[in-house]
Amino acid sequence: MKFPQPYTLKQIAELIDCKFVGNDNFEVLGMNEIHVVEPGDIVFVDHPKYYGKALDSAATIILINKEVDCPEGKALLISDDPFRDFNKLTNNFKPFVASDCSISASAKIGVNTIIQPNCFIGNNVSIGDNCIIHSNVSIYDDAVIGNNVTVHSGTVLGANAFYYKNRPDGYDRLKSGGRVVIHDYVDVGAACTIDRGVTADTIIGEGSKLDNQIQIGHDTIIGKKCLIASQTGIAGCVVVEDEVVIWGQVGVKSGITIAKGTELYAQSGLGHSTDEGKSYFGSPAVEAREKFKEMAYIRKIPDIIKNLKSK
């Protein structure tokens, strides 16, 4: 998430009422999660296990809960609760704005695009030309939809990320200020849910086709010309490269990469990154050829036992 204008380190520290290490006028351009940070961004870290990763990242401002040596060319924001203060910044720069109508006056809708009855289209949504948005679709604030896109009934674009911190009194949600971005020639089936990014974008690439009842988690990137079948669930921060095929009822772990041309057979559970052009099956998923060999060997076990007993 980029701020509407550059801020100084001192201004940001005053917003969240914390100490800082660095020049008062150190430039702050935005805030992001660690997997998408760029120079000028704030990243937060609240566990010693990840201090090094945050301090060595591309982010130049680290919101941290301990005074540590500040890397050269960077700045620190010292907070007793970085998670809370990251949420404060999201509230400040991307506050929730209630709607008072079904289609926001700030929404931009392209030529020849059809919006069927009972849809909700939020603030600052952009929809391109020649799209069909079927009835009872909810498109939350800031979503961007390209040209020649079809979205079927009951789909929700832009719900909050499923991202929580366990507190003594319950779970505390990390607020979502990112977007859903859908490129040209995408079809999204009925009753799908595509969550917005926490600070960046959840992206569906050009020409990809989603079946009914699919969940796409926050900050996940789906490449071009992918096919995803019904009841698939893809967790947050997954990279799905171009021309991937995912069949029904597949579950995908967060933070992995599904390489170009991968095929995931139905009811697989994928917990690791894949190799380009290979097929996977099972839970946990392995290369399909190996899994099928294993299954063939297992089928032979009763005969092996029978033969052993007959000797």
CA separation for the pair 294, 130 (Å, rounded): 49
Residue with tokens 């019904």: 230
Choosing from 134, 183, 218, 272, the catalytic residue is: 218
Q: Which of 174, 215, 204, 142 is nearest to 32 (CA)?
A: 174
Do residues 115 and 121 lie in contact, with contact meaning Cβ atoms separated by under 8 Å? yes
Name the amino acid, one letter, at 42: I
Structure-token pair, residue 88: 């404060």
120 beta partners: 138
Q: Which of 88, 89, 68, 91 is nearest to 78 (CA)?
A: 68
Query: Known catalytic residue: 218?
Result: yes
Name the amino acid, one letter, at 5: Q
Ranges of beta strands (E only) in 15-169 are 19-21, 27-31, 41-45, 61-64, 75-78, 108-109, 114-115, 120-121, 126-127, 132-133, 138-139, 144-145, 150-151, 156-159, 164-167
Q: For the sheet containing 257-258, what is the strand order? A: 108-109, 126-127, 144-145, 179-182, 201-204, 221-222, 239-240, 257-258
Residues forming the active site: 218
